[in-house]
A and B are shown apart, each in its own frame.
Chain A
Amino acid sequence: MNLLDLLPTAEEPVAVAATAASGAFSAGWLLVALPLLGAAVLLLAGRRADRWGHWLGVAASGSAFVVALVLWLAMLGGTAAERVVDLHLFSWITAGAFSLDAGLRIDPLSLSFVLLVTFVGTLIHVYSVAYMEHDVARRRFFAYLNLFVAAMLLLVLADSYVLLFVGWEGVGLASYLLIGFWNHELPNAVAAKKAFIANRVGDLGLLIAIALMFATFGATDFTTVFAQAPEASAGALTAVGLLLLLGATGKSAQFPLQSWLGDAMAGPTPVSALIHAATMVTAGVYLVVRSGPVYAHAPNALLVVAIVGAITLLFGAIVGSAKDDIKKALAASTMSQIGYMMLGAGLGPIGYAFAIFHLLTHGFFKAGMFLGAGSVMHGMGDSVDMRRFGGISRLMKVTWITFGLGWLAILGVPPFSGFWSKDKIIEAAFATADGQGWQPWVFGLVAMIGAGITAFYMSRLFFMTFHGTARWSDGHGGGAEDPDAPVRHPHESPALMLWPMIILAVGSAGLGGVLAIGGAFTTWLEPVTGHVEHAEPVLPVPVITIATLLLVAAGALLAWRQYGAAPVAVVPPHGSPITRAARRDLYQDDVNDAVLVLPGQVLTRSLVFGDRQVVDGFFSGLAHLVASTGEIVRRTQNGFVRSYAATMLAGIVVLVAIVLAFRI
Chain B
Amino acid sequence: MSLTHYLVLAAILFSIGATTALLRRNAIIVFLGIELMLNATNLAFVTFSRVHGNLDGQVMAFFVMVVAAAEVVVGLAIIVTIFRTRRSASVDDVNLLKS
**Chain A interface (Cβ < 8 Å from any Cβ of B):** 637-642, 645-646, 649
Which A residues touch B99, using CB under 8 A? 639
Q: Which of B2-32 contact A (CB under 8 A)?
A: 18, 21-23, 25, 30
Q: Is the CB of B98 within 8 A of A649?
A: no
Rounded to whole angstroms, the CA-CA distance of A646 and B33 in the bound complex is 13
Q: Which of B43-51, B54-62, B87-95 lies at the interface with chain A? A: B87-95
Rounded to whole angstroms, the CA-CA distance of A637 and B99 in the bound complex is 9
Q: Is the CB of B22 within 8 A of A649?
A: yes
Rounded to whole angstroms, the CA-CA distance of A642 and B95 in the bound complex is 10
Which A residues touch B18, using CB under 8 A? 649
With A646-B22, A649-B18, A649-B22 given, is the CB distance from A641 to B98 under 8 Å?
A: no
Choice from B22, B97, B98 contacting A642 with Cβ under 8 Å: B22
Q: Is the CB of B98 within 8 A of A637?
A: yes
6 contacts between A and B (CB under 8 A): A642-B25, A642-B91, A642-B92, A645-B21, A645-B22, A646-B22
With A646-B22, A649-B18 given, is the CB distance from A641 to B91 under 8 Å?
A: yes
Q: Which residue of A lies closest to B21 (CB)?
A: A645
In the complex, whether B1 has a CB less than 8 A from a CB of chain A is: no
Q: Is the CB of A639 within 8 A of B21?
A: no
Rounded to whole angstroms, the CA-CA distance of A640 and B97 in the bound complex is 8
Choice from A640, A645, A646 contacting B95 with Cβ under 8 Å: A640
In the complex, whether B73 has a CB less than 8 A from a CB of chain A is: no
Q: Which residue of A lies closest to B95 (CB)?
A: A639
Q: Which residue of B lies closest to A653 (CB)?
A: B18
Rounded to whole angstroms, the CA-CA distance of A646 and B23 in the bound complex is 9
The A-B contact count (CB < 8 A) is: 29
Which B residues touch A646, using CB under 8 A? 22
Q: Which residue of A lies closest to B94 (CB)?
A: A641
Listed residue (A638, A639, A641, A649) with the most chain B CB atoms within 10 angstroms of its CB: A641
Q: Is the CB of B92 within 8 A of A640?
A: yes
Which B residues touch A649, using CB under 8 A? 18, 22
Rounded to whole angstroms, the CA-CA distance of A220 and B97 in the bound complex is 77
In the assembled complex, how far is the CB of residue B22 from the closest CB belonging to chain A, in whole angstroms? 5
Which A residues touch B91, using CB under 8 A? 640-642
Which A residues touch B96, using CB under 8 A? 639
In the assembled complex, how far is the CB of residue A631 from the closest CB belonging to chain B, in whole angstroms? 14
Q: Which residue of A lies closest to B30 (CB)?
A: A642
Q: Which residue of A lies closest to B24 (CB)?
A: A642
Which B residues touch A645, using CB under 8 A? 21-22
Rounded to whole angstroms, the CA-CA distance of A639 and B91 in the bound complex is 10
Q: Which residue of B lies closest to A638 (CB)?
A: B98
Which B residues touch A641, using CB under 8 A? 91-92, 94-95
Rounded to whole angstroms, the CA-CA distance of A649 and B96 in the bound complex is 22
Q: Is the CB of A639 within 8 A of B97?
A: yes
Which B residues touch A642, using CB under 8 A? 21-23, 25, 30, 91-92
Q: Which residue of A lies closest to B91 (CB)?
A: A641
In the assembled complex, how far is the CB of residue B11 from the closest CB belonging to chain A, in whole angstroms? 12
Rounded to whole angstroms, the CA-CA distance of A639 and B95 in the bound complex is 4
Rounded to whole angstroms, the CA-CA distance of A120 and B24 in the bound complex is 102
Which A residues touch B21, using CB under 8 A? 642, 645
Q: Is the CB of A638 within 8 A of B95?
A: yes
Rounded to whole angstroms, the CA-CA distance of A638 and B91 in the bound complex is 13
Rounded to whole angstroms, the CA-CA distance of A638 and B92 in the bound complex is 10
